[in-house]
Chain A
Amino acid sequence: MRVELRRDVILPAQALEEIKAASDGAICVFDGVVRNNTRGRQTLFLDYEAYEEMALDQMRGLAAEALTKFPIRDVTLLHRFGRLEVGQTSVLIVVASAHRAAAFDACRWLIDTLKKTVPIWKKEHFADGAVWAAGEPFPDELVAAKETQR
């Protein structure tokens, strides 16, 4: 298991080669990249802010949970923070397993869960201003105010 929250560039091809083992029949990769626009506004760059210790802790927890939840052999989970340029990888998930179904399932579960629970935020910088991206809603059990609304 390899989990990193880092400022420097992520090289997907390298991570893919590093995880491979003889018993693997499938490597599933999710490469999240910075797009050049949001709803028609041209993106100049993104600035990712992380609650570093907690984010890394949550990422480690997710990778460990994926290893128990799915019949997979290994997981690499890398996320960047700081300034990212268009076309760069912001998050990379690599799952290795004997069979493809589990690799696909684990990869999908990891990115979907990461996007809801790992404390990282991005500010989108456009030619005409900057905004914090609207986040994914927290799962109900994590939203502080839900207790009083019930």
Chain B
Amino acid sequence: MRVNVLYFGTLKDLFASGRGAGEVIDLPDGATVGSLLSLLRAQTSKQSEVWRTLAVAVNQKYAALSTVLCEGDEVALLPPVSGGAQSRCGA
């Protein structure tokens, strides 16, 4: 099955080499959010703090590692969000 994976914020930079803001990934049936993350992590040589802090949304809803993916799902990898006014660490 194929899912559409989207990258945001700093993850876009991490995956910038040829992937851009998103890509279609082929996964075995029954694959979960967790197995997709393991696959992506293995594909990038760069180790990043972001893997331990990111959230995943499936079809625009926050999802767990155990969430089972389906054909055509939109899976977004979201680094910690920084909307609003400037963050307190900038104060």
Contact = CB atoms under 8 A, between A and B. Distances in A.
A51 B76 contact: yes
A136 B80 contact: yes
B83 A121 contact: yes
Contacts of B9: 49, 121, 123, 132, 135
Interface in A103-150: 111, 114-123, 132-138, 142-145, 147-149
Interface string B1-29: 00000101110010000000000000000
Interface string B66-85: 10000000001011111111
A138 B53 contact: yes
A115 B52 CA distance: 19
B87 A133 contact: yes
Contact of A33 (B13, B57, B61, B85): B85
B80 A137 contact: yes
A16 B9 CA distance: 32
A144 B64 contact: yes
Nearest to B63: A144
Interface in A48-93: 48-51, 53-55, 57, 79, 90-91
Contact of B86 (A35, A116, A138, A143): A35
Interface of A: 32-35, 38-39, 48-51, 53-55, 57, 79, 90-91, 111, 114-123, 132-138, 142-145, 147-149
28 contacts: A34-B86, A39-B90, A51-B6, A51-B57, A54-B76, A111-B84, A118-B81, A119-B76, A119-B81, A120-B82, A121-B9, A123-B9, A132-B10, A132-B13, A132-B79, A134-B80, A134-B87, A134-B89, A135-B79, A136-B82, A136-B87, A143-B53, A143-B55, A144-B34, A144-B37, A147-B34, A147-B64, A149-B52
